[in-house]
C-alpha cells in the first residue's frame, strides 16, 4: 500500500511506470495466505518488485517501450518474473524504458520520458531509466532491468542506486524481448548491494528455456554480500585500473569521486594496480555494429502479423502493410539501428563491418583475460558524466552512444559488472557510481567487493 501510495503521489512527475499493477494488494494478501499455510517462501516474500517493460508478463501489458507492442499481452511470463512470483515477490508494475532498450536516457520511449528523482530536469539514464528512477524515488524497493550495453549500470550511476549485470548466461533471457541476443542479460536494480544479491538469488540459475543459459550451480549472492559487508575482503584485494581510460572525456566530479573511492579501497588494504586494455577504446565502435546487426534481425519478427500493431493499407500487398506498420510502429532510434544493422550485414560489407567488429570483440575479451591474470577486479567510473538535462543529447546519437564507453566492454566479453554509488559530484551535487568488473562466473566477488565499499 505504501509503495502504491508513493507511486500515486510522485509518478505524475517522474513517470517511472508504464503500467501499475492494480492487483498488487490482492497478490500480497495471497502471499500472506501461502505463508500461513506453511508454503516455504523465501526472504523476499511479500516484497514489491518493479519490472522493466522489456520482460513479458501475463497479467500486465509488455511493450518494450514501443508503439508497435502497445497493449500487447504475453501468453507466458519471463522466467525471471515467474521465479519472482514463485518466491512471493509482488509485481508492482512495468517500468518505462527506451524503445526496445535502445538508448541511455529513457527519452526514446514511445510513451514519453522518465525524469530523474534527484532533479526532474535531468534524465534517469537508460535504457532502464524507469526501474532506476522507481527505486531511487522509493516507489519500489527492488527492480528488474536488462543490460545489453549498460542499461542497468548507467541508470544506477545517475540515480544513486545499485545495478548489476550478471555473467552472460547466468540469468535467463527467456521472455526478455530480445535486443541483441549475444549481449543481453537481466539483472537487479536496488538501493543496496545486499538487496541486489537477494534478488539475484531468486532470478538466477539455469533455465532450459534459454539455450545460452549456463548449467552452473551458483553460490548465494546475498551470502556473498553479507561476507563482504565487514570490509575484510578488501585486504590484499588487487584492483585493476585501466591505463588507457584517462580523465579525458570524464566530468571532473566523476573522476574525483572515482579517485576518492580508490583511496578508500587502498586505505582498507586493497592494492591498486595499473592494467592495460588497449582495445577498450574500440568497444563503442564494435558494439554499435554488433548491436544493430543483431537487433535488425531480432526486430524482423514485428511484421504486422505475429505481434502487436497492424496498419491496414486499402488494396495493399503484405509488403505494403508490413512497411506501413513498421513506419508507424517504430521510433527514429529503432529505425536508425535497423538501417545500420542491415547495412552492416549486407553482402559485400559483412566482412568489413560486422566481421571486423567481431574481431574487436575477441581482442577485448583477450584484454580482459590478460588483466584478470593480474588483478581480482577492475574498477572504472560507471559512466562519463552525471545525469544530463532532458533534450541535451537527443539530437546527437554519437554523443548518446558515448555514454556507454565504460559499460560496453563487459557485455562484449560476457563478464559481470556492478555499479554502486560512490558519492555526489562536487560541481552539480548529482550521484556518481563506481563500476567493478570481475572474470566470468565471479559474480559473487562483485557482491563481496560492492558490499565492502558501500
Nearer to ligand GLN, 102 or 444 (CB): 102
Phi/psi at 201 (nearest 5 deg)? -60, -35
Judged by CB under 6 A, does residue 66 bind ligand GLN? no
Identify residues 263-322 at the interface with ligand GLN (CB under 6 A).
Answer: 291
Q: Which one of the spans 6-14, 101-109, 257-265, 372-380 is the region binding ligand GLN (CB under 6 A)? A: 101-109
Nearer to ligand GLN, 11 or 333 (CB): 333
| Candidate list 103, 129, 141, 175; residue touching ligand GLN; CB under 6 A | 103
- DSSP classification of residue 34: H
Residues 6+ apart with CB under 8 A from 175: 55, 56, 74, 76, 77, 78, 79, 80, 81, 82
- Residue 313: CB atoms within 10 A of its CB come to 16
Contact indicator for 241, 376 with CB cutoff of 8 Å: no
Concerning whether 52 is annotated as a catalytic residue, the answer is yes
How many Å apart are CA 11 and CA 144, to the nearest integer?
A: 18
Tell me the closest approach of the beta carbon of residue 152 to ligand GLN, in angstroms. 7
Judged by CB under 6 A, does residue 251 bind ligand GLN? no
Judged by CB under 6 A, does residue 148 bind ligand GLN? yes
Interaxial angle between packed helices 332-345 and 283-298, expressed in degrees from 0 to 180 and rounded to the nearest 10: 100
Nearer to ligand GLN, 11 or 404 (CB): 404
Please state whether 276 falls in left (phi above 0), alpha (psi between -120 and 50) or beta. Answer: beta
Judged by CB under 6 A, does residue 127 bind ligand GLN? yes
Tell me the closest approach of the beta carbon of residue 127 to ligand GLN, in angstroms. 4
Of the listed 66, 105, 109, 151, which one is catalytic? 151
Contact indicator for 420, 165 with CB cutoff of 8 Å: no
Tell me the closest approach of the beta carbon of residue 171 to ligand GLN, in angstroms. 14
- Residue 272: CB atoms within 10 A of its CB come to 15
Instruction: List the one residue out of 170, 162, 212, 211 whose CA is nearest residue 188.
Output: 162
Judged by CB under 6 A, does residue 150 bind ligand GLN? yes
Tell me the closest approach of the beta carbon of residue 315 to ligand GLN, in angstroms. 38
Residues 6+ apart with CB under 8 A from 38: none
Q: How many residues bind ligand GLN (CB under 6 A)?
A: 14
| Candidate list 7, 31, 47, 102; residue touching ligand GLN; CB under 6 A | 102
Strands 142-147 vs 48-52: parallel, antiparallel or unpaired: parallel
Judged by CB under 6 A, does residue 149 bind ligand GLN? yes
Contact indicator for 193, 447 with CB cutoff of 8 Å: yes
Tell me the residue number closest to ligand GLN, measured at CB. 151
Concerning whether 131 is annotated as a catalytic residue, the answer is no
Q: Which one of the spans 141-149, 304-312, 376-384, 443-451 is the region binding ligand GLN (CB under 6 A)? A: 141-149
Nearer to ligand GLN, 245 or 375 (CB): 245
How many Å apart are CA 118 and CA 114, to the nearest integer?
A: 12
Tell me the closest approach of the beta carbon of residue 275 to ligand GLN, in angstroms. 24
Tell me the closest approach of the beta carbon of residue 187 to ligand GLN, in angstroms. 10
**In 3-state terms, what secondary structure has residue 441?**
coil
CA distances (Å), origin 286, targets 244, 308, 344, 412:
17, 31, 11, 9
| Candidate list 64, 109, 131, 151; residue touching ligand GLN; CB under 6 A | 151
Nearer to ligand GLN, 150 or 204 (CB): 150
Concerning whether 151 is annotated as a catalytic residue, the answer is yes
| Candidate list 7, 101, 265, 299; residue touching ligand GLN; CB under 6 A | 101
C-alpha Rg value of the chain to the nearest Å: 21
How many Å apart are CA 148 and CA 178, to the nearest integer?
A: 10
| Candidate list 56, 179, 203, 340; residue touching ligand GLN; CB under 6 A | 179
Judged by CB under 6 A, does residue 53 bind ligand GLN? no
How many Å apart are CA 141 and CA 45, to the nearest integer?
A: 13
| Candidate list 63, 64, 104, 161; residue touching ligand GLN; CB under 6 A | 104
How many Å apart are CA 381 and CA 310, to the nearest integer?
A: 44
Q: Which grid cell sits at 188?
A: 537487479
Nearer to ligand GLN, 48 or 414 (CB): 414
Tell me the closest approach of the beta carbon of residue 325 to ligand GLN, in angstroms. 23
Of the listed 104, 109, 127, 422, which one is catalytic? 127
Identify residues 389-428 at the interface with ligand GLN (CB under 6 A).
Answer: 404
Residue-wise DSSP of 339-395: HHHHHHHSTTTTIIIIIHHHHHHHHHHHHHHHHHTT-SEEEEESSSSSPPBTTSSTT
Which residues are marked as active site?
52, 127, 151
Binding interface with ligand GLN (CB under 6 A): 101-104, 127, 146-151, 179, 291, 404
Amino acid at each position: 500500500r505504501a509503495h502504491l501510495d508513493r507511486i500515486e503521489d510522485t509518478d505524475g512527475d517522474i513517470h517511472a511506470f508504464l503500467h501499475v499493477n492494480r492487483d498488487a494488494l490482492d497478490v500480497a494478501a495471497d502471499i500472506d495466505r501461502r505463508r500461513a499455510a506453511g508454503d516455504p517462501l523465501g526472504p523476499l516474500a511479500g516484497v514489491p518488485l518493479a519490472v522493466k517493460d522489456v520482460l513479458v508478463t501475463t497479467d500486465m501489458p509488455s511493450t518494450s517501450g514501443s508503439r508497435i507492442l502497445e497493449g500487447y499481452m504475453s501468453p507466458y511470463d519471463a522466467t525471471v518474473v515467474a521465479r519472482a512470483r514463485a518466491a512471493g515477490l509482488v509485481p508492482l508494475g512495468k517500468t518505462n524504458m527506451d524503445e526496445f532498450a535502445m538508448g541511455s536516457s529513457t527519452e526514446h520511449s514511445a510513451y514519453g520520458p522518465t525524469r530523474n528523482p534527484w532533479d526532474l530536469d535531468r534524465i534517469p539514464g537508460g535504457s532502464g531509466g524507469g526501474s532506476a528512477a522507481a527505486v531511487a524515488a522509493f516507489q519500489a524497493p527492488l527492480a528488474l532491468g536488462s543490460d545489453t550495453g549498460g542499461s542497468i549500470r548507467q541508470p544506477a550511476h545517475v540515480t544513486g542506486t545499485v545495478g548489476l549485470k550478471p555473467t552472460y548466461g547466468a540469468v535467463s533471457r527467456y521472455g526478455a524481448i530480445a535486443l541483441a541476443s549475444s549481449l543481453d542479460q537481466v539483472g537487479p536494480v536496488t538501493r543496496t548491494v545486499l538487496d541486489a544479491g537477494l534478488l539475484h538469488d531468486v532470478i538466477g540459475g539455469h533455465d532450459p528455456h534459454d539455450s545460452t543459459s549456463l548449467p552452473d550451480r551458483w553460490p548465494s549472492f546475498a551470502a556473498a554480500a553479507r561476507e563482504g559487508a565487514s570490509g575484510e575482503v578488501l585486504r590484499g584485494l588487487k584492483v585493476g585500473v585501466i591505463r588507457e581510460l584517462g580523465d579525458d572525456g570524464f566530468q571532473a566530479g566523476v573522476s574525483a569521486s572515482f579517485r576518492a573511492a580508490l583511496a578508500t579501497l587502498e586505505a582498507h588494504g586493497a592494492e591498486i594496480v595499473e592494467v592495460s586494455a588497449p582495445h577498450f577504446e574500440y568497444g563503442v565502435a564494435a558494439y554499435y555494429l554488433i548491436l544493430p546487426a543483431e537487433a535488425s534481425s531480432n526486430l524482423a519478427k514485428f511484421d504486422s502479423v505475429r505481434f502487436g500493431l497492424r496498419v491496414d493499407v486499402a488494396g495493399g500487398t503484405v509488403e505494403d502493410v508490413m512497411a506501413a506498420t513498421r513506419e508507424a510502429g517504430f521510433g527514429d532510434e529503432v529505425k536508425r539501428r535497423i538501417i545500420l544493422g542491415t547495412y552492416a550485414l549486407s553482402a559485400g560489407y559483412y566482412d568489413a563491418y560486422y566481421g571486423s567488429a567481431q574481431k574487436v570483440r575477441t581482442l577485448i575479451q583477450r584484454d580482459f583475460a590478460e588483466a584478470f591474470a593480474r588483478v581480482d577486479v577492475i574498477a572504472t567510473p560507471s559512466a562519463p558524466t552525471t545525469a544530463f538535462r532532458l533534450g541535451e543529447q537527443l539530437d546527437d546519437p554519437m554523443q548518446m552512444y558515448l555514454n556507454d564507453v565504460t559499460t560496453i566492454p563487459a557485455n562484449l566479453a560476457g563478464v559481470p559488472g556492478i555499479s554502486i554509488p560512490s558519492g555526489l559530484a562536487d560541481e552539480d551535487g548529482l550521484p556518481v557510481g563506481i563500476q567493478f568488473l570481475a572474470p566470468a562466473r565471479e559474480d559473487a566477488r562483485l557482491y563481496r567487493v560492492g558490499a565492502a565499499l558501500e
